[in-house]
Amino acid sequence: MTTWRLLTTAWGGEPSVLIGCTALVAGYVAMTRRRPSRQAWAFFAGVVVLLFAQCSPLDALGDTYLFSAHMIQHLLLLLIVPPLLILGIPAWLAAQWLRSPRVRAVERALRHPAIAWPLGIGAMYLWHLPALYNATLAHARIHIGEHLCFLITGVIFWWPVFAPLAESRYAPLAAMLYLFTAAVASSVLGIILTFAPPGLYPAYLHPVDSRGFLSLIRDGWGVSPAVDQQFGGLVMWVPGGLFYLGAIIGTFARWQSDADGEGEPFAPRAAVPSSSGEGV
């Protein structure tokens, strides 16, 4: 087994993933076909990243061989896919959804920081508890549920930061505080995983080598279970923290370029109707 062969043969995908991504694209096109938007590229990029996370060799490695590969996959599902999907929603479409009082009430409740923050960060901690994490490796349905949980809670977490309507986003300083505390929480989890004794997730100690990748990983790449776990923790710790930092910088830049940024930095943002009355 060579690295090239692994990268070219370890592609696959659960039917549920392919069906789900097809449904996402079809639903998006159906809702926006009469009003094409520049945001479409962000939405489609989110779907592509989702497919890569679930169907590329990253998935094959993370499911059986490498904790670190699984951590990269989790970061894609938590930190990359949800913001891209949200950024792909046109303001006029979001405004249409929120015309329903029930939808607006649910949206307002879910974006409250006492709900959005614990859901986004709590899901990350919950699914990395050894009992639950090991269950996902042993049972495909639990694994699918874990990834769906990451996507749903990720969208809820990132909605108040990247929502297409200004009225749905946190005020700049509130958003930066929200993201900073999330960065700290993510880093703490990464530190715990980095310095935990090897074998926190026993399935990676002696993986079932059904694909014949183990010799390449252990001998060719020189990745032992201990190194793998440490690297996986560092992935959560450093790149994860940098992504939150990037979101903080982006929020600050948007605040500085916003003509309304001279107001109360913690005050809720008001909706600003567009000239057509359809966007914010």
Residue 268 lies in a domain: no
Q: Which domain holds residue 151?
A: 14-90+99-258
pTM for the predicted model, two decimal places: 0.88
Residue 8 lies in a domain: no
Residue 41 lies in a domain: yes
When comparing pLDDT for 228 and 269, which is higher?
228
Reply yes or no on whether the pLDDT at 266 is more than 90: no
Residue 129 lies in a domain: yes
Which of the residue ranges 152-166, 194-208, 215-229, 249-263 would you say has the lowest mean pLDDT?
249-263
pLDDT score, position 278 = 42
pLDDT in tens, 45-64: 999 999 999 999 999 999 99
Radius of gyration of the chain (CA): 20
Reply yes or no on whether the pLDDT at 262 is more than 70: no
CA-to-CA distance for 128 and 73, rounded, in angstroms? Answer: 13
Residue 274 lies in a domain: no
- Long-range CB contacts for residues 99-107, cutoff 8 Å, separation at least 24: 107/159, 107/168
CA-to-CA distance for 181 and 187, rounded, in angstroms? Answer: 10
Residue 177 DSSP class? H
Number of domains within the chain:
1
Residue 266 lies in a domain: no
Residue 21 lies in a domain: yes
Residue 207 lies in a domain: yes
Contact by Cβ (8 Å): 88, 46: yes
Tokens representing 15 are: 């039917």
Mean pLDDT value across residues 250-276: 60
pLDDT score, position 35 = 67
pLDDT in tens, 69-109: 999 999 999 999 999 999 999 999 999 999 999 999 999 99
